[in-house]
Amino acid sequence: MNSFRSDIILLFALCLVYSATSQEITVHDPVMAAEKGRYYLYSTGKGISVSSSPDMKHWNPEPPVFPEAPAWAESVVPGFRNHIWAPDIFRHNGRYYLYYSISSFGKNTSAIGVATNETLRPDAPDYHWKDHGIILRSVPNRDMWNAIDPNVVPGQAGDHWLAFGSFWGGIKLVKLSDDLLSVRQPEEWHTIARRKRSFETADEAPGDAAIEAPFIFYKNGYYYLFVSFDYCCRGKESTYKVVVGRSEQVTGPYRDKAGQLMTSGGGTPVITGDSRWAGAGHNSIYTFGGEDYLVFHGYDSTDQGKPKLRIVKVRWKDGWPGE
C-alpha cells in the first residue's frame, strides 16, 4: 500500500482555474459536459443536481434531472427519497447518456441506472430525460462489489465499458451492450483496482480498504484510472484523496508511477487536502479547448466542512498528471 507523506499536497502544484471572483458552489461528486458554448455540471443531490455556466466559474442552478424518483428506485432502496448519487455524463452518437447510483449509505444495497437525452439545454424543445432503468445491481451477502459511482469509457475496439464500485471487492469494469443500456452478454468482468480488506472489516468503517469513484481518461496511448482513497462525506473530518495509475489496455493492469499494481493497493497521489480543504476527491477529468481539467469536490474547513466545487487545469510531466 502506498503511504501518503504529509508534505505531498499536489493540489496547488496544478494550475487553478478559479479566480477570486469565482463562485464556490456546494456540490458533491461533480461531472461535467459542454454543449454549444455552455458547461453543464451534474452532481449528487435530489433528483441529480444540475448547474450550468458559460465559463466554468459562474454557475446557475438548473432543474434536477428527476423531479420525482425513478419508478424502480423503491424496489432497490425501500423508502428511497430521490437523493441520487454520483452521476456520470457521456456523449455517444449525438446522444447524452447519464448514469447514476441508487444506494443506501454504508451498504452494497445499490443499483446503477441510465437515462438519455438529445440535449443538455433545459430550454431546448427536445429536452427530455428518458429513464431506461437498471443496468446492474448489487445485493448484500451475494455480491462482493457495490453498484455505485459509474463511469463509462470507450475501449480500443469501438466497445464501451462501465467502471464502478467501492470498498468490498474494489473497482470493477464490465463491458456494455452496443446501445450502452445494459451489460453485454456473455458478461465480461474485470477488477481494476482494490485495497486489501479483511472480511471482518465493518462496512461502515473500511479504514485502509476504502476505495471508490473510478474515472478513466485516455491520453497519448494510455488509459489513466483515477480513484479516491479513504473517507468522503465527513465534512472537516474527511480524508479523501485522489490517486492514479495507467495502462495501455482499458481492462488493465493499471500500475502507478512506481510500477505497483492498483489491484494491490497502488496509486500515485494526484490531489489531497490541505489546511483549508479537509479532503479532496471523487474527480472527473475532461478536455475542453485543448486543455485538460480535473473536476472534483473538496470539503471546506472554513465553511463548516461543506463540499465545494474545485476545477484545476492539469499539468502533465513524463506521462503523469502533476507538476
- Contact by Cβ (8 Å): 2, 243: yes
The Cα–Cα gap between 129 and 67 comes to 11
For residue 123, give the 3-state DSSP assignment: coil
The Cα–Cα gap between 119 and 97 comes to 10
The number of CA neighbours under 13 Å toward the Cβ of 111 is 18
C-alpha cell at 244: 492514479
Beta bridge partners of 295: 284, 311
C-alpha cell at 139: 445485493
- Contact by Cβ (8 Å): 291, 279: no
Task: Indicate the length of the chain as a whole number.
Answer: 323
C-alpha cell at 300: 471546506
The Cα–Cα gap between 269 and 5 comes to 10
At 29, phi and psi to the nearest 5?
60, 55
Q: Which residues are catalytic?
A: 29, 212
At 76, phi and psi to the nearest 5?
-95, -50
Q: Amino acid identity, residue 253?
A: P
Q: Which residues contact 248 (CB under 8 A, 6 or more apart)?
A: 221, 222, 223
The Cα–Cα gap between 313 and 316 comes to 10
